[in-house]
Amino acid sequence: MSAQAMITLARSQVGYRETGNNDTKYNRWLGRIPGYPHDGYGYPWCHAFLSWLLAQTGNAGAGPRTAGCEVGVGWFRTRGRYHNTPKVGDFVYYGAGGGTHVELVIGVSSSSITTIGGNTSGALNGAYYNGNGVYLKSVSRSSTRIHGYGRPDYTATGTGSGNTTWEDQLIGLKKGDKGEAVKAIQEMVAHAGFRKALGSDGVDGDYGSSTAEGVRLARAYVGSKAEKGYGDKITGIAMGQLISAVAKRQAEEAKGGSAAVPKNLTVDSVTTKRLVVNG
């Protein structure tokens, strides 16, 4: 188990390209998310790629198994493994809350990082491809796009994660709880379009009334009756609905729509297990 094993495998994947709309072997490995093309496998896949690398190199316990970038950030933060400076083997997260994109750091200099990422753009053999494959690139360390660096624990056992996702570990959170795990829930609420519900404190790691209201609104957005108290605790069904709310919001925004609350969306709380964000 090592960062070098990750890098070696990642290099072997450079040039791999999706088929159709985000359909990849990495998503087929991670699992279906209902509502996406290709029978639920056509979702953004930048984090699925890195989670696949972890699993294939015996590093499954070293980092998060998820399709969601902000969920990955939460996994690292709650373990004290999220940093502002890079090391080889880190996951570099981009965008607001780290929720836009993620890549593997394979080289570090005083001014730049070298990365390999999936669901991204790049050049290969003289041709340029836009957002559809695995590519190697150089990124300035001063780039404002960089949010931070998750540092996998490459000394962890390879079986620690198994088929348990970070989202599974959020189930059971409730009003009054505090910490990095709560921040992950708040980021999901924000990405579902209900950041204003969190109030002036925003993503602060405090599961108070504002967070409960944000969870309730996100659940209502995907068809839950979401009565009073429906945001007070993260049940398995609530988690599935939060994930679906993020996915639905992104689908509406991608279409240029108003993201109105759908009236007939049903949620599969068993198979809807992994948060997807922009890859």
CATH of 3-160, one of 3.40.720.10, 3.40.50.720, 3.90.1720.10, 3.40.50.300: 3.90.1720.10
pLDDT for the residue numbered 181: 81
Contacts with 255 (C-beta within 8 Å, 6 or more apart), sequence order: none
pLDDT at 124 over 60: no
Residues 6+ apart with CB under 8 A from 222: 241, 244, 245, 248, 262, 265, 267
DSSP per residue, 115-130: EEEEEEEEEETTEEEE
Name the residue among 36, 13, 43 with its Cα closest to residue 117: 13
Put simply, whether the predicted model's pTM sits higher than 0.75 gets the answer: no
Instruction: State the span(s) of the chain assigned CATH 1.10.101.
Output: 167-254
Q: Is the pLDDT of residue 273 over 50?
A: no
* pLDDT tens, residue by residue, 22-57: 999 999 999 988 778 898 899 999 999 999 999 999
For 161-204, the pLDDT digits (tens) are 344 455 666 889 999 999 878 888 888 888 788 989 998 888 88
> Of 171, 156, 142, nearest to 233 (Cα)?
171
Model confidence at 276, pLDDT cuts 50, 70, 90, reads very low
- Is the pLDDT score of 88 beyond 90? yes
Better pLDDT: 75 or 279: 75
Q: Where does the pLDDT of residue 64 fall: very low under 50, low under 70, confident under 90, or very high at 90 and above?
A: very high
Phi/psi for 221 (5° steps) reads -60, -30
**Listing from the earlier edge strand, what are the strands of the sheet with 91-94?**
82-83, 146-150, 91-94, 101-108, 112-124, 127-140
Is the confidence at residue 142, as pLDDT, over 70? Answer: yes
The fraction of the chain above a pLDDT of 90, given in percent, is: 44
Task: With H, G, I as helix, E, B as strand and everything else as coil, classify residue 58.
Answer: coil
Residues of the chain with CATH 3.90.1720.10: 3-160
- The mean pLDDT of 19-23, rounded to a whole number, is 90
Residue 111 reports pLDDT greater than 50? yes
Which CATH number does 167-254 carry? 1.10.101
Please provide the distance, in angstroms rounded to a whole number, between the alpha carbons at the two ends of the chain.
Answer: 26
Residue 223 confidence (pLDDT):
87
Does the pLDDT at position 260 exceed 50? no
pLDDT at 262 over 90: no
Residue 68's pLDDT is: 87
Instruction: Give me the pLDDT at residue 70, please.
Output: 84
In the numeric block, the tokens 């279409």 are attached to 255
CA distance 148 to 78: 14
Give the DSSP per-residue string, 133-169.
EEEEEEEETT-TTEEEEE---TTS-TTSSTT--HHHH
Digit-coded pLDDT (tens) for 205-231: 899 999 999 999 999 998 888 888 999
Q: What is the mean pLDDT of the chain?
A: 82
Q: What is the pLDDT of residue 86?
A: 95
Are 157 and 61 spatial neighbours (Cβ–Cβ below 8 Å)?
yes
pLDDT of 279:
56
